Amino acid sequence: MVFTGFWNGLLIVGGGVAASLIIMALVRRLFPTEVLRRGHDATGNLLSVVGTLYAVLLGLIVVDAMVRFERAMDIVQQESNSLADIFLLAGRLPDPQRAAIRTLCRDYAYEVVENEWPLMNRAQVSIEARKTALAMVRSLDDFEPATEAQKIVYPLILEQMHEFWDHRRERANTAEFGIPAVEWVALIVGGAVTILFAGLFSVEHNGLHMLLTSLTALVVGLNLYLVSLFGYPFAGELAVSNRTFKVDIGIFEGQSGERPSNGGAVGAP
């Protein structure tokens, strides 16, 4: 259930305002004005309880979505940093390990930029990128350091490989699993109930009542839009950029001047 982009944001906010006016009109047709006025005390007390609970729920989910987005940016940065470190540390290893690891680094970076980033917009990941990452992590399984320099660099490159794999898995999980559907249900139903209570008040000036109800729906809709933007870090117009992997590709090309084994070209994010 992914809402992203300007038009979806307009649908969430504008649709919410329109729905609030419809709810208010239905309430006015179902209940006479005198009945609504006599129920002001009960309606006001219940609105305080419901509104407070919904405000707490909405605030927590908005904050959680923003933290999720910031964490996704950190994960991408850490993953690309580990990939660059692996490539550079591999220069201290003998052939064929050096050539194999560097080739895998280049192939992985190109695969992530060209194929995996567009896939993450649809909550998917590249199987080929996963295979390349796994091959890189296992590339030193049979290697035994012989020189003192190799004995120093060997544990360092293994540590970077493990961190790289952990960051990749965390990024993949973030891309594949967004805001749970049950949270969206709670947010939408809670917002509708809150707007319904706002419509249960009787205001003499009908235009003022419509304005107050619309403003309430506007605030709720804007917060829901924030959840949709930040809750899916790799989808929509506010998606996390793949620029750090493009920087890695620049490092790799500067070191070797070679293209990846699959002959790909760097695409747009």
Give 10-residue mean pLDDT values along the chain (269 residues): 58 81 78 69 75 90 93 95 94 90 95 94 92 93 87 92 95 89 90 81 71 85 89 86 93 66 43
The verdict on residue 147 lying in a domain is: yes
Is 159 within a domain?
yes
**Whole-number pLDDT of residue 208:** 77
Structure tokens at 107: 């192939």
- Would you say residue 266 lies in a domain? no
Distance CA 151, CA 143 (A): 11
CA distance 195 to 189: 10
d(CA 260, CA 115): 14
Which of these, 207, 200, 208, 216, lies nearest to 38 by C-alpha position? 200
Q: Are 4 and 169 in contact (CB under 8 A)?
A: no
- 263 lies in some domain: no
Confidence at residue 203, expressed as pLDDT on a 0 to 100 scale: 67
Residue 92 covered by a domain:
yes
Task: Determine, yes or no, domain membership for 264.
Answer: no
- DSSP letters of 77-135? HHHHHHHHHHHHHGGGSPTTHHHHHHHHHHHHHHHIIIIIHHHHTTT---HHHHHHHHH
* 230 inside domain: yes
The fraction of the chain above a pLDDT of 90, given in percent, is: 42
- pLDDT computed for residue 265 by the predictor: 40
Peptide bond into 94 cis (omega under 30): no
pLDDT, residue 142, reads 86
Write the pLDDT tens digit of every residue in 144-203: 888 888 889 999 999 999 999 999 999 999 998 888 889 999 999 998 888 887 777 666
Amino acid letter at 87? Answer: F
Q: Supply the pLDDT for residue 264.
A: 43
pTM (whole model) above 0.75? yes
Full residue range of the structural domain in which residue 155 is found: 6-256
Tell me if 72 is assigned to some domain: yes
Q: How far apart are CA 223 and CA 7, in angstroms?
A: 16
Give how many domains the chain has, as a whole number. Answer: 1
Residue 260 is predicted with a pLDDT of 52
pLDDT of residue 177: 87
Q: How many CB atoms lie within 10 A of CB 64?
A: 15
Backbone angles phi, psi at 234, to 5 degrees: -110, 20
